[in-house]
Amino acid sequence: MNENYNIEPDAELGRTTFEDDNLLKQHTPISKPISPRLHARRASMQEPTWTIKDSFRVTTKDVVQRCIHTLIPTANFFDVIDDRPDLYGPFWITTTVVQALFFSNSITDYVRHLTGSIDNPYSIGKLVSATSIIYGYTAIASVILWGFLVWNKCNPKLLDCVCIYGYANISWLPVSLMTPPFSLLSSFISHIVKWILTSVGLGISLVFLIRNLYPVCQQAGTYLCKLSIAGVIVLHVLLAITLQLVFFK
């Protein structure tokens, strides 16, 4: 049935019957079912409604690939996203970072409590502050970036900005998991090692952010581009210093 749809110019030589053509013109059914992606595109061309469910159409392989491309920023992240920004990655990576920060902070406090140096084994306030700092930073910074780009007529998608900042948080995960042994040693060298760890995490996420935001910001003009990149760097350095002082002491 499929051959009747792709009619080549010199197919008259190959055609045996003409009645099939009339039958074809009378009823135009679509024999094979439309793939859901094509159907979604057609639907979106007709009615541009977007639900949150659209931002969860990723598979496990997609998310893992995006995480790897965040940590090793060789390819352009927007190509990796392939015009399908998702909300799953940013949200759950941010949640994992919150839990990891609380985990690392509380395990050092617990061991110190066991050896008798401090009184209470953990403070639940650290979990609350981790939640507010990381969620707040990701949400506010991405909205500020999006607002800045919209103000300069770059037409970004909010979901892309949230995606970038959300996936950039993944660099704090190894930093927070490697800090507890150095916190427990509590010598001058371990202090310096902790600062080095934090700056490595800061460096990885900054490289990822700048490499992907630079082409986007260039559309705004050179002066504004430099301003926006400087703003991104300053905010991220502030975040790193806050995390170091609150959690990695």
Partner 1 sequence: MTDLDRPNVEIEQDEAENLLRMDPVQSSFDVETRPVEPDTFAGESVVETRFTGGDTLDEPIRVTLLNEFRAIGKKLVYILYPKNAEVLRDWDLWGPLIFSLVISICLALPASKSDRESIFTVVFALIWFGEAICSLNIKLLGANISIFQSICILGYSSFPLVISSVVCSFLDQLYIRIPVIVAMYAWATFASLGVLQNSNLVNKKFLAAYPLFLFYFSLSWIIFL
* Piece of the chain touching partner 1 by CB under 8 A; list 57-65, 144-152, 194-202, 241-249: 57-65
The C-alpha atoms of residue 227 and residue 217 are separated, in whole angstroms, by 9
The answer to the question of residue 94 lying near partner 1 (CB under 8 A) is no
Q: Which is nearer to partner 1, 158 or 210 (CB)?
A: 158
- The size of the interface with partner 1 (CB under 8 A), counted in residues, is 26
For residue 225, the SS3 value is helix
Q: Two tokens at 149? A: 């780009």
Q: Which is nearer to partner 1, 89 or 156 (CB)?
A: 89
In terms of C-beta density within 10 A (0-12 exposed, 13-18 middle, 19 or more buried), how is residue 3 classed?
exposed
Q: Which is nearer to partner 1, 110 or 195 (CB)?
A: 110
Binder of partner 1 out of 71, 78, 80, 95 (CB under 8 A): 95
Q: Which is nearer to partner 1, 128 or 207 (CB)?
A: 128
The neighbour count for residue 198, using CB atoms within 10 Å, is: 21
Range 163-222, binding partner 1 (CB under 8 A): none
* Piece of the chain touching partner 1 by CB under 8 A; list 50-58, 136-144, 198-206, 217-225: 50-58
The C-alpha atoms of residue 22 and residue 112 are separated, in whole angstroms, by 86
Q: Which is nearer to partner 1, 78 or 88 (CB)?
A: 88
Which of 157, 248, 141 lies closest to 194 in space, CA to CA? 248
In terms of C-beta density within 10 A (0-12 exposed, 13-18 middle, 19 or more buried), how is residue 168 classed?
buried
Binder of partner 1 out of 65, 78, 80, 99 (CB under 8 A): 99
CA angle 15, 20, 25 (to 5 degrees): 120
Distant-in-sequence, close-in-space partners of 142: CB < 8 Å, separation ≥ 6? 158, 161, 162, 164, 165, 166
The answer to the question of residue 27 lying near partner 1 (CB under 8 A) is no
Q: Which is nearer to partner 1, 55 or 228 (CB)?
A: 55
The answer to the question of residue 56 lying near partner 1 (CB under 8 A) is yes
Range 113-152, binding partner 1 (CB under 8 A): 119-125, 127-128
Quickly tell me which residue has 């990695």 as its tokens: 248
Q: Two tokens at 166? A: 């959300």
The C-alpha atoms of residue 76 and residue 211 are separated, in whole angstroms, by 8
Q: Which is nearer to partner 1, 58 or 225 (CB)?
A: 58
* Piece of the chain touching partner 1 by CB under 8 A; list 1-9, 54-62, 171-179, 212-220: 54-62
The residues that touch partner 1, with contacts defined as CB under 8 A, are 52-53, 56, 58-61, 63, 88, 92, 95-96, 99, 102-103, 106, 110, 119-125, 127-128
